[in-house]
Structure 1
Amino acid sequence: MSVALKVAATKDHALKVPDGDDQIAMLHSALEDSIYISWEVNNTYQAYFTAWDDESVAYQMLTVQNMVEIDGQWFVIKQCEPDYSNGIGTTAVTLQHISGEISRMHIYGSDPVDWGQYSHTGNSNVSLDVPDSTDTVAQSVSPGDILNAFFGGDNGKNWNITYQVIGSFNNAMVENPYAAGSGKDAISRILEAWSSAVFWPDNLNLRIYSHDEFYKDYGHRYDYLRDTSEVQLQYDTTDMSNAARLVGATQEIQTTSDTGLPNGSLTASGGAQAVIADAKKYLGVPYVYGGGRPVGTANPYNGMDCSSFVSRVYYDFGINIPAYTVSMESYGHEISRDQVQTGDMGFYGSKGASYHVCMALDNSTMIYEPAPGQSCKTQSISSFAPSWWERNDDMAKVVASGSSSDNGTASTADSKEQYYFAPFYFVDETSRQRWGLFVGDDITSDTITDKEQMKAYAESQFKANPDFTLQLTVDPGKEIIEGDMVRLEIRPADYVTKVDLVGYQKYPYSHTQPSTVVLNSNAQNVLDYQSSQAKKLNAAFEKLSQESQDKINAALNKKPETIMITQKEANEIGQYVDKQRQDSGG
């Protein structure tokens, strides 16, 4: 039997859901039993079918990069394998869901590109100057921030892409979240940063779900031998890990040392560089209104605002100034714009009512905490010029520590990198006691400064239980839904559990082909199955014990029927009889 499918060709193979402006033809020669969709959550979304040559326009359109609609979704043809045998021509077709085509788009961010004659939203007025290389910087972002950077505005319009975030997500620290890359890279960054997130596209509507929003109980069940002919269960401990060395964030600790040089001589290094290095270590720390207080006690990496950031840098050099802009004004004296140097404070607003502050790295560059939703960053002073500048004399002395001094011996400011807490070994004891010790690679974080938080992070990275695969063969016509949370019952194993459907190979048009379903493997599934196995084992022991007792009773009662027992059981019976005689005095 064959089924009718839409085949479409868009102009220049544009990425879009085909519509009335495109060439569309109906294919009537696709074999219904050959059409299947293969899906694995956050990984595979493909389709396959075979059609015979009915000399139709649609059959001739089965070429790469044309599209076919299957089960309400559009798939792009990636491979075609024509075959001619016994006078009949057929073509086997492999397709990828249309959302996979986002790997064709590329966003360059701030990277320089001269677009020339090609229409693009980027700036073609680029310089020949090579931009300064920047270190990897972690920023506090949400999934929506990354989606918007890649698919928002004209980027999404040019590629006919829309997107949604469904469910609640906390911000996470992501390294270079907006770095240049493909649309596929953007989705991968989200799935890596939020491990429980689910990517589920509806054609070119890209959707990021939280786990609880994606998986719902629709009342479906799979019962072995009722609508499920085969259930395969498999343990695999290959990739397990439940122990590792944990390495957290580091900080720059400022030090001073006597150079031994007399007054007026140059020290070994300048203080300005130490101030710059200290300020830059906070790059990427999120803006948190009221965060970082009290300065010197609160963890600055949990977030700071503009004034607590500047106050914190000063504190790192033993200089105490308030963490409030208006109060900070009295801790400096005004200087002109052309006098600005490292460590000077730039105020915004009117004097006595300032509302924002930054700190100069040099005469042309400043560093500051910008606003909610952003993170500590540097930019040119001219691009966001303060209303006026002030200099704190104590900070000016630190900056000038590399030049001559008035009396005594010269000293130099330096810094050393130090862990917030010493790297330590950590074990998930529950997993170790159940399965044994599986030591994995170091688990590291550039942002975690608290030891207990590091333990919690490590537990989320461990693979504390074996992979536990549940693969079912289900009857034709059984409804299969992405995001389904199903009830599974295997009566011979005394096993009942609730599981997420995480993959399938389904035949949406076939009345004879059974589908294959893959259910999730989490710790609770493993424990549920272990519990059922323990019950079976206990029942087996109880049965064995009862059978042995029956044989002993039969021997004591001298039943005439033949009793089949093992040598071990005979010995046990003999010992039991002797004990009974001794107890009875006989």
Structure 2
Amino acid sequence: MDKLLVRGLKRTEIEPLGLSSLDPDSFYITWAMNETWQLQFTARDDGSVAYNMLDDESSVFYDGQEYIVKQCIPDFVDGTKAKDVVATHVYNEASRIRKYKQYIDTSDPSSGQSTNVKANPDDTGSSGDNSSVTQNGNTTITKTDEGDNQENQIWYSLEDVLKYYLDGNSLGFTYQIIGNFGKSRIEQLQDGNGTDMLSKIVEHWPNAVIFPDNRNIRVYNIDDFEKDYGNRLDYEYNTTEFKLTYDSTSLTNEVFCVGAKYSVETETETDSDSGNSSGAGAQAVIADAKKYLGVPYKYGYGRPVGTANPYNGMDCSSFVSRVYYDFGINIPAYTVAMESYGHEISRDQVQTGDMGFYGSKGASHHICLALDNNTMIYEPQPGEVCKTEPISYYPPTWWERNDDMAKIVAGGSSDDSGGASTSTSAEYYYFAPFWVKDLDSINKYGEHPLEQIEDERFHDANSMRQYALSQLQPEPSLTVEVTTYTHMKPIPGDKIHCMIPDGELSTNLAVVGFDWYPLSETNYSVFTLNTNAQNILDYQASQRNDLNKAFSQISKQSIAITNIANNTSEGNGAWNETEVKAFDNSKRS
């Protein structure tokens, strides 16, 4: 049997705790997939170094894994001294890893602020793909993809998430990915801790299993996690109880699907000199802004403006601030602070050098720069570069004009008239909303609708159909809890062959949780096993067999009643005493 080892907080010695000092019935390990991994025990004072090192935040080692003591409760009873210990697996210490937003000190003169307030840095909104632009005289028709305009949503791989939180950590955490995972759309990673990392993995990759080896965070695809180790659980052979819970609470077999939309905007110019883009001043601003085309988006880069090399990377606000700086205009490189450096104008007044803000006033999170009344230039989001787009492609929430920039654009005099235009727009779905139904399930159980799915990621109906099918639960769930006769050591993910006689159940189920008492003579291992579609069909087949047997028995009794009735001595259907006794005996037999 493995020894229990103890290392005190901020100590290097590792000492064994005598098994004789442990209450064997209190010593157990509980594990539930993606939820819990915990060790508990009661130890009596044996005067050893190990016992005296047991305290909050000390480490205990068992079966090759480290646990951190979170509760150590001294207990004085019946003339003895003991400690009740609860320890969690060391991987939970990832909660101590923290990531922080980059904060800008606005008292720094290079920031362009004179106040001592510290504000949150700007966040970026992600934009979609411009599908098409056609021009007809002074009329521009733009098809704008609305599906990807979700604020702060970015596509991440599983490795991106792990690297963001774990790279360079000082607690010794590493990671492994076992199996294949696609990318998922997640709110931009900016701050949080290791617990947030684990939650994001489970939420956005439902087929992921987090099963660490001490401080090595291993993430498995469930198909790679579940393996057959040749174990078997037979009712009344090596188990005392098989508890099967058949639950239709979460049954769903149909869902209404709504995919992405796009808008078609028709904009007609009423001024051929729209946007004040033809003057020498405007052309100078346009040329200056365009020299940064291709510079990669890097969050927090480009500061302090005027000192940092802009070609190493910029984010949305440092880019706009840099263009202004190039013309001797100092404005801060933070969207909320930039709001006070202009006055609001209407959409049809927009001209070269105007600033387009995204979000609500006082909490803007993204910014672009107008090249003219129809075109903007901006740093979009991580993974992209500075580029130009039609304004209608990703229209700002509101526009502002800085009078100093307006004078430069006008060549020495402010001109707020700008170019005028009229526009109309209409929204269309890439495909008509539709129902996805599992007809086999509906025929068996009736209609059980899932809440409507509206997902702007999908431009293709078939892709959304496959996704929707994966969200349905067309069969009731089946959970199995098994109590063993033995101290059989559970193996997480072990696909155990389970057998209940008389055809009740014969199938393979994987271990997804357990309570393991390796030292107790009275408490035995309890396994929680998963189920899949085939397991449920096996269970349903056994239920049908039992039902058929019951109907068969009723049928036999009905035949017996009919025979007695048809053979009465009176011939008129009335039973005499002898016939009644005969029927009674047939029921008992």
TM-score band, normalised by shorter chain? 0.5 to 0.7
Matches within 5 A, 1:436-447: 436-447=446-457
Equivalent residues of 2:165, 2:194 under 8 A apart: yes
Equivalent residue, structure 1, for 2:240: 229
Equivalent residue, structure 2, for 1:100: 92
Equivalent residue, structure 1, for 2:165: 150
Matches within 5 A, 1:253-272: 253-256=264-267
Return the alpha-carbon distance in structure 1 between the equivalents of residues 274 and 384 of structure 2: 36
1:140 to 155, 173, 186: 155
Equivalent residue, structure 2, for 1:64: 56
Equivalent residue, structure 1, for 2:532: 522
Equivalent residues of 1:551, 1:563 under 8 A apart: no
Matches within 5 A, 1:316-395: 362=370, 366-367=378-379, 375-376=383-384
Q: CA deviation at 1:545?
A: 2.9
Equivalent residue, structure 2, for 1:307: none
Return the alpha-carbon distance in structure 2 between the equivalents of residues 197 and 566 of structure 1: 61
Equivalent residue, structure 2, for 1:26: 16
Equivalent residues of 1:247, 1:445 under 8 A apart: yes
Q: CA deviation at 1:368?
A: 7.2
Return the alpha-carbon distance in structure 1 between the equivalents of residues 68 and 418 of structure 2: 71
Matches within 5 A, 1:192-341: 192-256=203-267
Q: CA deviation at 1:225?
A: 0.7
Deviations 1:186-225 (A, max 9, x none): 1222222221111100100110111121100111111111
Equivalent residue, structure 2, for 1:354: none
3-state secondary structure, aligned to 1:33: coil
Equivalent residue, structure 2, for 1:474: 484
Deviations 1:429-454 (A, max 9, x none): 33322223223333232311122222
Q: 1:165 to 1:537 in 2, by over 3 A?
A: same
Q: 1:27 to 1:434 in 2, by over 3 A?
A: same
Q: 1:536 to 1:456 in 2, by over 3 A?
A: same
Q: 1:243 to 1:453 in 2, by over 3 A?
A: same
Whether 1:86 and 2:84 are equivalent positions in the alignment is no
Deviations 1:370-401 (A, max 9, x none): xxxx8446589xxxxxxxxxxxxxxxxxxxxx
Return the alpha-carbon distance in structure 2 between the equivalents of residues 202 and 251 of structure 1: 47
Moved more, 88-97 or 540-549: 540-549
Equivalent residues of 1:138, 1:173 under 8 A apart: no
Equivalent residue, structure 1, for 2:31: 39
Moved more, 234-243 or 141-150: 234-243
3-state secondary structure, aligned to 2:25: helix
Query: Which consecutive unaligned segments of at least 5 residues does structure 1 have?
Result: 12-20, 115-125, 268-282, 285-338, 343-359, 381-401, 570-586
3-state secondary structure, aligned to 1:565: helix
Equivalent residue, structure 1, for 2:7: 8
Q: CA deviation at 1:251?
A: 2.8
Equivalent residue, structure 2, for 1:384: none
Matches within 5 A, 1:161-172: 161-169=173-181, 171-172=182-183
1:50 to 42, 57, 61: 42
Q: CA deviation at 1:544?
A: 3.6
Q: 1:202 to 1:127 in 2, by over 3 A?
A: farther
Q: CA deviation at 1:36?
A: 0.7
Q: CA deviation at 1:55?
A: 2.7
TM-score (norm 2): 0.64
Return the alpha-carbon distance in structure 2 between the equivalents of residues 506 and 540 of structure 1: 39
Return the alpha-carbon distance in structure 2 between the equivalents of residues 422 and 249 of structure 1: 10
The AA in structure 1 aligned to 2:102 is D
Equivalent residues of 2:235, 2:241 under 8 A apart: yes
Q: 1:50 to 1:535 in 2, by over 3 A?
A: same
Query: Which consecutive unaligned segments of at least 5 residues does structure 2 have?
Result: 106-115, 126-150, 277-295, 298-350, 355-367, 389-415, 570-577
Q: 1:466 to 1:102 in 2, by over 3 A?
A: same
Return the alpha-carbon distance in structure 2 between the equivalents of residues 479 and 3 of structure 1: 12
Equivalent residues of 2:104, 2:120 under 8 A apart: no
Aligned alpha-carbon RMSD (Å): 3.9
Equivalent residues of 2:489, 2:525 under 8 A apart: no
Return the alpha-carbon distance in structure 1 between the equivalents of residues 184 and 60 of structure 2: 40
Q: CA deviation at 1:469?
A: 1.6
Q: 1:341 to 1:263 in 2, by over 3 A?
A: closer
1:174 to 180, 185, 195: 185
The AA in structure 2 aligned to 1:133 is D
Return the alpha-carbon distance in structure 2 between the equivalents of residues 184 and 541 of structure 1: 54
3-state secondary structure, aligned to 2:201: helix
3-state secondary structure, aligned to 2:103: coil
Equivalent residues of 1:493, 1:536 under 8 A apart: no
Percent sequence identity over matched residues?
36
Return the alpha-carbon distance in structure 1 between the equivalents of residues 62 and 517 of structure 2: 10
Q: 1:215 to 1:130 in 2, by over 3 A?
A: closer
Equivalent residue, structure 2, for 1:565: 583
TM-score (norm 1): 0.64
3-state secondary structure, aligned to 2:86: strand
Whether 1:433 and 2:443 are equivalent positions in the alignment is yes
